[in-house]
Amino acid sequence: MAQLSPVLKQATPVVVDRGEGVYLYDTTGKRNLDFTAGIGVTSTGHCHPRVVAAAQAQIGKLIHGQYTTVMHKPMLELTEKLGEVLPPGLDSLFFSNSGSEGVEAALRLARQATGRPNVIVFQGGFHGRTVAAATMTTSGTRFSAGFSPLMGGVHVAPFPNAYRYGWDVGTATKFALRELDYLFATVTAPHETAAFFIEPVLGEGGYVPANTEFFAGLCERADRHGILLVIDEVQTGFGRTGKFWGHDHFDVRPDIVVIAKGLASGFPLSGIAASTELMSKAWPGSQGGTYGGNAVSCAAAAETLSVIKDEGLVENAASRGEQLLAGARLIADKTPRIGDVRGLGLLVGSEFTTSDGEPDNPTAQAAQKAAAERGLLLLTCGAHMNVVRMIPPLIVTAEQIDEALEIWADAVASVTK
């Protein structure tokens, strides 16, 4: 008899039978409030009827139209629709299947376009699990330990992670920019640096938002040295943070954005967007893949974009996000074990700390487990897995946020007595 590999580490014991909106029903019939959204994917909720209908209509027509062999209508239609929401100037798209592949596509393009070998990533960033993307990931050694050597040419600069350093945001930002200049002077010369890869909010790294001053410093250096700015919007895109793009909070113009997760409501689809000018510097035929831009995924994504617009999901993420952040802070106020609560939109993290202010993994894990037992599914993140994160679907209502906060308060109280 075959069984699943123990390599999979599952955050909850739930075996799901079906999903509907913000709920996941397990095989015993128990209803769970899903504040994980499949790691920030099912933004329109589980099985949104319009997304289901679009996928069903497509599946009977064409499932697989291999895009280096033939072009198909859903990809052309999705490209046109994305044109309405992409950052200014980014009018050329390439599609792949997963966030990691999108990151690698951006890496290839950045190296080919600049002819430079190195890239700079920011401490605590998560960019994926394929070997190149894992090399660029610094949110936890668990993502790369045991299969080194990793890829060369990746250098790490600090992220303005004020809470971790115990500083205010201004001091952390100055430190991070100074260290970046030091990296240029000591490790990777600017003229050998192809790109910065950055998340607008560290996701797996602990839900830490960047800030406008830091991005201004990055952009200034990118412009001065001809370095490309690649923004990884895999977790923060498509309304998650209460603005359409995570970087919309920070007055910044990326050269390349990486997209995935919330794009297609759960169908595997990712990609990169850049200007036609930049994209045309890629070597023709150097990117592709058997499944990239699957026809059903593209049809589901096109409908997802319409649902986000028609149902005002970006606005909902902003207002429900404020409610969630405020509620989580009130709960943290009642216990010294939660040292910080932060986030943007519907991306909220509660960081557990010991009485000495050190990362408290056991209490965070216990709180996440206690919430799951009470029917609220959550995940943890951060280098020490001591941040409990909430990323519900963007369709979540005020009542559902209240319900989740009530369960969360009870779960926290049960493990911090």
**Using rule CB under 6 A, residue 160 touches ligand PMP:** no
Q: Nearest approach, Cβ of 234 to ligand PMP (angstroms)?
A: 4
Q: By CB under 6 A, name the one of 203, 239, 242, 382 that touches ligand PMP.
A: 203
Residue 194: phi and psi, rounded to 5, are: -80, -40
Residue closer to ligand PMP by CB (options 233, 360) is: 233
Residue closer to ligand PMP by CB (options 118, 137) is: 137
Residue closer to ligand PMP by CB (options 21, 266) is: 266
Contact string 34-63 vs ligand PMP (x = CB under 6 A): -----x------------------------
Contact string 358-387 vs ligand PMP (x = CB under 6 A): ------------------------------
Asked if residues 175 and 167 have their Cβ atoms less than 8 Å apart, the reply is yes
Q: How many CA atoms lie within 13 A of 194 on its CB side?
A: 20
Residue closer to ligand PMP by CB (options 2, 147) is: 147
Asked if residues 250 and 212 have their Cβ atoms less than 8 Å apart, the reply is yes
**Using rule CB under 6 A, residue 98 touches ligand PMP:** yes
DSSP 118: E
Residue closer to ligand PMP by CB (options 71, 150) is: 150
Residue type, 287: Q
Helices (H), 211-312: 212-225, 276-279, 295-310
Cβ count within 10 A of residue 401: 25
Q: By CB under 6 A, name the one of 12, 36, 42, 100 that touches ligand PMP.
A: 100
Segment interacting with ligand PMP, rule: CB under 6 A, options 8-16, 56-64, 120-128, 211-219: 120-128
Segment interacting with ligand PMP, rule: CB under 6 A, options 165-173, 212-220, 227-235, 317-325: 227-235
Give the pair of three-digit tokens for residue 195. 């790109």
Helices (H), 187-312: 212-225, 276-279, 295-310
SS3 396: coil
Q: Nearest approach, Cβ of 393 to ligand PMP (angstroms)?
A: 16
Q: Nearest approach, Cβ of 366 to ligand PMP (angstroms)?
A: 24
Count of all residues that appear for the chain in the document:
417
Residue closer to ligand PMP by CB (options 122, 126) is: 126
DSSP 281: T
Segment interacting with ligand PMP, rule: CB under 6 A, options 28-36, 94-102, 222-230, 293-301: 94-102
Size of the site for ligand PMP (CB under 6 A): 16
Which residues does residue 351 pair with via DSSP β-bridges, in sequence order? 340, 387
CA dist 171 and 214 (Å) reads 11
Q: By CB under 6 A, name the one of 90, 93, 229, 232 that touches ligand PMP.
A: 232
Q: By CB under 6 A, name the one of 19, 87, 99, 339 that touches ligand PMP.
A: 99
Asked if residues 114 and 191 have their Cβ atoms less than 8 Å apart, the reply is no
Give the pair of three-digit tokens for residue 353. 């700390």
SS3 15: coil
Q: By CB under 6 A, name the one of 234, 338, 371, 383 that touches ligand PMP.
A: 234
Give the pair of three-digit tokens for residue 239. 């309304």
Q: According to CB under 6 A, which residues from 250 to 309 bind ligand PMP?
A: 260
Asked if residues 407 and 371 have their Cβ atoms less than 8 Å apart, the reply is yes
**Using rule CB under 6 A, residue 104 touches ligand PMP:** no
CA dist 48 and 393 (Å) reads 11
Judged by the rule CB under 6 A, the positions of this chain that interact with ligand PMP are: 39, 98-100, 103, 126-129, 199, 203-204, 232, 234-235, 260
